Amino acid sequence: MAIRVLVIDDSAFARKVVRELLTGAGMEVVGIARDGLEALEKIAELKPDVITLDMVMPNLDGLGVLAALPVEHRPRVVVVSMAGEDSALGIAALHAGAVELVRKPTAMAVERLYEISAELIAAVTAAATARSPAAAPSAVPMELPAPRLAPLRKSILVVGASTGGPQALTRLIKALPESFPIPVALVLHLPTGYTQAFSERLDNESALEVVEASSGLELKAGRVLVARAGIHLKIARDGTHLRAQLDPLPTASAHRPSVNALFESAALACGGGVLGVVLTGMGDDGTVGARAIHAAGGELLTESEQSCVVYGMPRCVDEAGLSAKSVDLDGMAAEILRRI
């Protein structure tokens, strides 16, 4: 059965292009809406599987639509928004329950809207099969176990996520204590222009320092590096220090940044000192890197199917026999603390 989509955008041209792209991919565009209020009426009437949602609209904006979505027959949401001034709104939408985020070309160079075709179709397809993300809890960070005489078993935590990742990563990082004793590096599949806004939001909400990665930046205890969209994040050893490297290679990677690139570099730099975590996401990014971590003597944890928005990336690592344990998201921070 075709995926039923409602297109919501205040731009007539954007509505036309999105409709053409989705219809051409075999999806059924059941309707369009020009603003947030009309969108809510059409959602109640048409009950679409997925909505594509612009963030800046008259009468009621995208965040208002998300807040007002019904509990029954709640559609999955794909945000189609411009980076720049809209970046923080896009990230807020992901935290409010949107499943995917597609970057609309800046300044609406109208012919360029067709350039998002593959990304938009993939996002809507992923959203149609995704579970609705659970709201990020306002949990107090966990406490570290009592001090121990044995040295730390791990020297770095690396994390990968995709569809459903913003909320999952927020829940995980917020649960880690301010005294977390090793550095963290993470890859999240987001469009270019959104990782800075995600980093800033997560930094404000968690006890750890969260920053968008830059070349040469030191990885240290209590600091979380977020891979910059559009370029791979790799870990390099500099004497006794670990530093971030931003590298365009490999260009053939399906994702940039890729979880594989981060995991493989961490395995090379830290060997058995790596603890890798693969969270919710579509596809298999992270499996090759997980093999590298496993071969180097490190450990992998995967998010359980029960808590994943999309059980794709963790499933691939699990089925490859590389996961030491499959863990529900709410128990992941405790499991990490036990293993470091």
pLDDT tens for each residue of 312-326: 999 999 999 999 999
pLDDT tens for residues 216-226? 999 999 999 99
Q: Are 244 and 124 within one domain?
A: no
- Whether 294 sits among the annotated catalytic residues: the reply is no
Which one of 284, 285, 323, 326 is the catalytic residue? 285
Domain that holds residue 26: 4-129
Active site residue 155: no
Tell me the average pLDDT across 65-83. 91
| 17 and 101 together in one domain | yes
Section 82-110 average pLDDT: 82
Residue 241 in this model has a pLDDT that exceeds 50: yes
Select which of 189, 232, 255, 294 is catalytic.
189
Long-range contacts of 239-243 (CB under 8 A, 24+ apart): 242/155, 242/156, 242/183, 242/218, 242/269, 242/270, 243/216, 243/217, 243/218, 243/219
**Residue 85 confidence (pLDDT):** 66
Residue 107: pLDDT band by 50, 70, 90 thresholds?
Answer: low
Q: How confident is the model at residue 134 (pLDDT cuts 50, 70, 90)?
A: low
Give how many domains the chain has, as a whole number.
Answer: 2
Same domain, 191 and 324: yes
- Average pLDDT of span 132-142: 56
Final residue in a domain of this structure, among 129, 147, 178: 129
- Examine the pLDDT at 310 and tell me if it is beyond 70: yes
Which has the minimum average pLDDT: 91-95, 144-148, 183-187, 261-265? Answer: 144-148
Q: Report the pLDDT value the prediction gives residue 115, as an integer from 0 to 100.
A: 78
Closest Cα partner for 159 from 307, 262, 265, 248? Answer: 262
183 shares its domain with 299: yes
Q: Is 162 part of the annotated catalytic residue set?
A: yes
User: Has residue 210 got a pLDDT over 80?
Assistant: yes
Residues 45 and 124 in one domain: yes
Q: Tell me the mean pLDDT in the region 138-163.
A: 75
Query: Does 315 lie in the same domain as 166?
Result: yes
The pLDDT mean for the chain works out to 92
Q: What is the pLDDT of residue 334?
A: 96
Looking at the structure, tell me whether residues 101 and 224 fall in a common domain: no
* 52: pLDDT strictly greater than 90: yes
Identify the pLDDT of residue 145: 54
Confidence of residue 132 (pLDDT cuts 50, 70, 90): confident
Catalytic residue among 155, 162, 265, 307: 162
Residue 26, pLDDT > 90, answer yes
Q: What is the CATH number of the domain that holds 202?
A: 3.40.50.180
Q: Has residue 141 been placed in a domain?
A: no
pLDDT band at 70 (very low <50, low <70, confident <90, very high): confident
Classify the phi-psi angles of 235: left when phi > 0, otherwise alpha if psi is within -120 to 50, otherwise beta: beta
121 and 178 co-located in one domain: no
Read off the pLDDT of each residue in 194-214 and give the average, rounded to a whole number: 97
In a domain, 135, yes or no: no
- pTM metric for this prediction: 0.92
Residues 175 and 309 in one domain: yes
Which domain CATH number covers 81? Answer: 3.40.50.2300
Per-residue pLDDT at 143: 57
> In whole angstroms, what is the distance from residue 112 CA to residue 6 CA?
21
- Only one residue has tokens 């800033």, namely 200
293 and 196, same domain (yes or no): yes
pLDDT higher than threshold 90 for residue 111: no
Q: Region 119-134: what's the mean pLDDT?
A: 90
Q: CA 289 → CA 14, 219, 259, 269, 292, distances in Å?
A: 38, 19, 7, 13, 5
Instruction: For residues 239-248, give the mean pLDDT.
Output: 96
Which pLDDT does position 136 carry in this prediction? Answer: 46
- pLDDT for the residue numbered 137: 47
Task: Return the pLDDT at 142.
Answer: 58
Residue length, the chain?
A: 340
Question: Tens of pLDDT along 155-175?
Answer: 999 999 999 999 999 999 999
What are the pLDDT digits (tens) for 289-300?
A: 999 999 999 999
* Judgement on whether residues 281 and 172 belong to the same structural domain of the protein: yes
Which amino acid, one-letter code, is at 188?
Answer: L
Same domain (yes/no): 310, 187: yes
pLDDT of residue 106: 62
